[in-house]
Amino acid sequence: PVKVSKICCIGAGYVGGPTCAVVALRCPHIQVTIVDLNQARIDAWNSPDFNLPIYEPGLVEVVKQARGRNLFFSTNVDKAILEADLIFVSVNTPTKKSGVGAGFAADLNYVESATRRIAAIATSNKIVVEKSTVPCRTAESMRTILEANSKPGTRFDILSNPEFLAEGTAIADLFKPDRVLIGSLQTQEGRDACQSLAEVYANWVPRERILTVGLWSSELSKLAANAMLAQRISSVNALSAICEATGANIDEVAHAVGFDSRIGPKFLRASVGFGGSCFQKDILNLVYLSESLHLPQVAAYWRQVVEMNEYQKSRFSKTVVDTLFNTITGKHIAVLGFAFKADTGDTRESAAISLIRDFLSERAYVTIYDPKVEEAQIWLDLSEAIPGTPLETIKKYVTIVHSALEACKQKEAIVIATEWKEFKEIDWQTVYNQMSKPAFVFDGRMILKADELQKIGFKVKVIGRGDGQ
């Protein structure tokens, strides 16, 4: 097997950036260059004051230690390809918006153009690693493209190495992964390439956590893991609807259920719904795959996980309207949190966007506060969520502020959309004093102490809890 000394990572996003920064930190003997076509993103990665393009706890510290030592960020894609012996392809694979499979299939345009670039530039053997989440058998297409365009004497070995990090805990996950999965062709060359990559991870990951499997199993495992994680959330959310109707408490139910060692306690929290760039996209991808394989029952089964999530979001909006005496027109609502989860500035598919869109469709006034999301991002997301409405009109109804206290002032209702820790520590008495009465709180993340808020005087609605609890 080749001993890897130079790595190139194509795509400096939420995955490529943190993943390869940690590779560089843990492997000082390997030169790691992360490249992207997006100049602004690369400039941010290189910024002297470490104003990085993404927020992850612990990321700045990693970049501080490795940048300029053996970690580099560049827009010179060709040079990095030329020099590397191993190339991670970590570009985005969003759901297709038009054409065949629109709304379900993954858009592989970025993967393909990165692959074609590798084929055009490479003059020596390369191990090409699929890091992006892709549909089953994408590695096969990559291999065909590489082989059809390669120069004589240049070998390409393709590996699948999906990334399991979760945003918000990316650095901790990368330091101590549950597992690293590497898929390869089961040929001698395939196994050798697999070993070369395993050696890189073995610098900090225990051997028994590095799993090596076939290419297709590896690709499918990533979709399967995300589908099953999202399914857990949709299951608990489906139960939360029953709790609200019966007076049971989803916290107690989840706690009791999670005690079963076969189920386990983690990832059983009811909420306003899952968001993020991956769960929905990867399930839809699995649905599309199932349909292409003529497995309609399998497709319907997984599609229901996404439908339950949509239902949960709209059910929550409806609770807000119903509770505020069946109309929120002209009312003022504070939305605390805009990111799709705590400890990230990422807003892709955030539940907050759906809620605010619903509130605006009722012509309510919305004031938003999030500790990490940039104002420009919020405007962009809202314009995209409400097509056909000019931003000026949206701005008449929406205000963005810089603290939770400011957001809540003189509002009729507060909606917790993201589980930021600081929302637990708000001075709720002060908030109450400054609100219009009756003052409502809708906890979409189950992070507040409802009984204490009720003592202050708030009317509180919590996901998965019937009235009177």
Helices within 36-102 (DSSP H only): 39-45, 59-66, 77-83
Q: Is 11 annotated as a binding residue?
A: yes
Measured CA to CA, the distance from residue 254 to residue 264 in angstroms comes to: 10
Measured CA to CA, the distance from residue 386 to residue 107 in angstroms comes to: 23
Choosing from 7, 14, 129, 285, the residue that interacts with ligand NAI (CB under 6 A) is 14
Does the protein bind ligand NAI through residue 73 (CB under 6 A)? no
Measured CA to CA, the distance from residue 185 to residue 191 in angstroms comes to: 7
Does the protein bind ligand NAI through residue 13 (CB under 6 A)? yes
Positions in 190-229 near ligand NAI (CB under 6 A): none
Does the protein bind ligand NAI through residue 350 (CB under 6 A)? no
Choosing from 31, 33, 70, 93, the residue that interacts with ligand NAI (CB under 6 A) is 93
Does the protein bind ligand NAI through residue 41 (CB under 6 A)? yes
Choosing from 167, 219, 358, 381, the residue that interacts with ligand NAI (CB under 6 A) is 167
Q: Which stretch binds ligand NAI (CB under 6 A): 6-14, 173-181, 262-270, 453-461?
A: 6-14
Mark residue 273 as left, alpha or beta (left: phi above 0; alpha: psi -120 to 50; beta: remaining). left
What 3-state class would DSSP assign to 48? coil
In the complex with ligand NAI, the residue whose CB is nearer, 278 or 360, is 278
Does the protein bind ligand NAI through residue 130 (CB under 6 A)? no
In the complex with ligand NAI, the residue whose CB is nearer, 93 or 234, is 93
Measured CA to CA, the distance from residue 164 to residue 177 in angstroms comes to: 8
Let me know how long the chain is: 469
**Radius of gyration over alpha carbons of the chain, in Å?**
24
Positions in 257-296 near ligand NAI (CB under 6 A): 277-278
Q: Which stretch binds ligand NAI (CB under 6 A): 137-145, 159-167, 370-378, 406-414?
A: 159-167
The set of residues, in sequence order, having a beta carbon less than 8 Å from that of 373 and lying 6+ positions away, is 338, 339, 345, 347
Residue 166 C-beta: closest distance to ligand NAI, Å:
7
Which strand (E) or helix (H) includes residue 232?
helix 215-246
> 115 near 130, Cβ under 8 Å?
no
Measured CA to CA, the distance from residue 60 to residue 310 in angstroms comes to: 35
Measured CA to CA, the distance from residue 327 to residue 321 in angstroms comes to: 6
Choosing from 130, 163, 244, 370, the residue that interacts with ligand NAI (CB under 6 A) is 163
Residue 201 C-beta: closest distance to ligand NAI, Å:
16
Does the protein bind ligand NAI through residue 36 (CB under 6 A)? yes
Type of residue at 365: Y
Q: In the bound complex, which residue of the shown chain has the CB atom lying closest to ligand NAI?
A: 13
Choosing from 59, 77, 136, 441, the residue that interacts with ligand NAI (CB under 6 A) is 77
> 129 near 89, Cβ under 8 Å?
yes
Choosing from 66, 71, 87, 114, the residue that interacts with ligand NAI (CB under 6 A) is 114
Tokens of 235: 């299951």
Residues touching ligand NAI, count (CB under 6 A) = 27
Measured CA to CA, the distance from residue 341 to residue 233 in angstroms comes to: 14
Q: Is 91 annotated as a binding residue?
A: yes
Residue 344 C-beta: closest distance to ligand NAI, Å:
9
Query: Between vectors from CA 122 to CA 118 and to CA 128, what angle results, nearest 5°?
Result: 50
In the complex with ligand NAI, the residue whose CB is nearer, 335 or 342, is 342
**Which sequence positions are flagged as catalytic?**
278
Measured CA to CA, the distance from residue 427 to residue 412 in angstroms comes to: 17
Does the protein bind ligand NAI through residue 55 (CB under 6 A)? no
Residue 253 C-beta: closest distance to ligand NAI, Å:
29
> 270 near 464, Cβ under 8 Å?
yes
Residue 40 C-beta: closest distance to ligand NAI, Å:
10
Q: Which stretch binds ligand NAI (CB under 6 A): 5-13, 153-161, 379-387, 393-401?
A: 5-13
Q: Is 132 annotated as a binding residue?
A: yes
Which strand (E) or helix (H) includes residue 400?
strand 398-400
Q: Which stretch binds ligand NAI (CB under 6 A): 12-20, 260-268, 316-324, 426-434?
A: 12-20
Binding site for ligand NAI (CB under 6 A): 10-16, 35-38, 41, 77, 90-93, 110, 113-114, 132-133, 163, 165, 167, 277-278
